[in-house]
Amino acid sequence: MSIDLTAGPLSAARHALAEDGYCVLPGAVDPAAVDVVVRRLNMAIRHHGLTTDEIAEWQLSGFFPHLRWEPEVWGVLPAAAPELLGWQDGDQWGDPQLLLRFPDERQDWTFEPHVDQLPPWASDRSYRGIVGVALTTAGAEDGVACVWPRSHLGEAGEMTPVPLAAGDALVMHPALGHTGTLNLGPTVRMAIYFRLIAGAAA
């Protein structure tokens, strides 16, 4: 479900999260902030390079770990995210995940849903939610994220692609099944995922 943040409070987005397990916030991030972090990522590629092995490894875990807490990265976290996810005292953001999906070879691929696992240091806590910010526009052929609506409620929904324009945000319930797809487009898909971890008392 796509939510217009300029139309009023976050009640519609909260309802979509509760019912469907996800919502899309179009234009959630200022284009200038998107340009800044995309440039930073491209400069990291220029300065550090990427080997084939690094691409294969980091495609699963996230690229350029040394950039995770840089201001440019946090500059694309939507301002509405803490309120939408129900931020409380003691909550904290996990390490952002910088995702680059390079073009893939055409191949048979089985798409299986997964849910994100907590980092080891937070194993006795829980996620409040996940916010994925598209840094590049991604359609059906570009390795777009897919979700299984209402799977957070134990229902077996169908895999649903979620196309995003640069600056859009995909907000997910932490128990929602989701996955990436093959990038059969011509360019690298870039995104950043932020995860809010509830405080120990929660």
Longest dimension (CA), the chain: 47
pLDDT band at 179 (very low <50, low <70, confident <90, very high): very high
CATH number at residue 13: 2.60.120.620
pLDDT (tens digit per residue) in 33-80:
999 999 999 999 999 999 999 999 998 889 999 999 999 999 999 999
Closest-CA residue to 86 (of 200, 197, 201): 197
* pTM metric for this prediction: 0.93
Task: Identify whether 67 is part of a domain.
Answer: yes
Q: Is residue 32 part of a domain?
A: yes
In a domain, 172, yes or no: yes
Confidence of residue 8 (pLDDT cuts 50, 70, 90): low
Tell me what pLDDT residue 7 has: 55
Which of the pair, 88 or 140, is modelled with greater confidence?
Answer: 88
Domain extent, residue 189, equals: 5-197
Helical spans, DSSP H, in the chain: 11-19, 31-48, 52-61, 71-74, 81-84
Residue 116 has pLDDT above 90, yes or no: yes
Asked if residue 181 is part of any domain, the answer here is yes
Compute and round to an integer the Cα radius of gyration of the chain: 16
pLDDT for the residue numbered 96: 97
Has residue 19 been placed in a domain? yes
* Assigned domain for 46 exists: yes
Query: 96-115 pLDDT, tens per residue?
Result: 999 999 999 998 878 899 99
pLDDT tens readout for residues 152-163: 999 978 999 999
Residue 123 belongs to some domain of the structure:
yes
Whether residue 9 has pLDDT greater than 70: no
Number of domains composing the chain: 1
Q: Is residue 202 part of a domain?
A: no
Give every CB contact of residue 183 below 8 A, 6+ residues apart in sequence: 101, 102, 103, 104, 141, 142, 143, 189
